[in-house]
Amino acid sequence: MTNWRAVFIGFLLATVFGIVGLVIPGIGQLAAGLIGGFVAGYMAGGGLGSGLWHGLLAGSLGGIIGGLLIGVAVGLAGLALGPVGGAISGAAGLGILALAVGISLVMAIESAVAGAIGGMLNSGRSGRGGRNAY
């Protein structure tokens, strides 16, 4: 069973660290995904599989939201530039979609690996609501 609280907290941490990580492009976002996935996996507990699943969900949610934000920003920029901007942002739409999918995949994979490590470190928890199994 999915612990959505752990996924949401991992997603929030990845988002906050991703924004802070803009100071160090690339490395900051990588660290954000790793931290968010680890926290989601650790909070969910339950071992390797559970941690991997929760880290994957936290990372992919962050990637999807990030891709949507990029799409909205390009759309607004195209709207501000009038008809020419609309044509440019329309032509760039496929590239934006590819970028969003790529970001989502990278964030999901790195968060899943970190979540698996977090789940292994906290394998004594049940993975249901963060309550102990005993």
- In this prediction, residues 17-46 reach a mean pLDDT of 85
DSSP assignment letter at 86: H
For residues 118 and 48, the answer to whether their CB atoms sit within 8 Å is no
Q: What is the pLDDT of residue 92?
A: 72
For residues 61 and 17, the answer to whether their CB atoms sit within 8 Å is no
Rg (CA), the chain: 17
Note the pLDDT tens digit of each residue in 57-108: 998 888 777 777 777 777 777 777 777 777 777 777 777 778 777 877 888 8
Q: What is the pLDDT of residue 35?
A: 92
CA distance 134 to 37: 25
Element of type H or E holding 27: helix 27-44
- In this prediction, residues 13-42 reach a mean pLDDT of 84
Q: What is the pLDDT of residue 133?
A: 41
Note the pLDDT tens digit of each residue in 42-52: 999 889 999 99
pTM of the entire predicted model: 0.75
Angle at 93 between CA 107 and CA 7, to 5 degrees: 25
Number of alpha carbons in the 13 Å side-chain half-sphere of residue 114: 26
Considering the chain, what percentage of its residues have pLDDT values greater than 70?
90
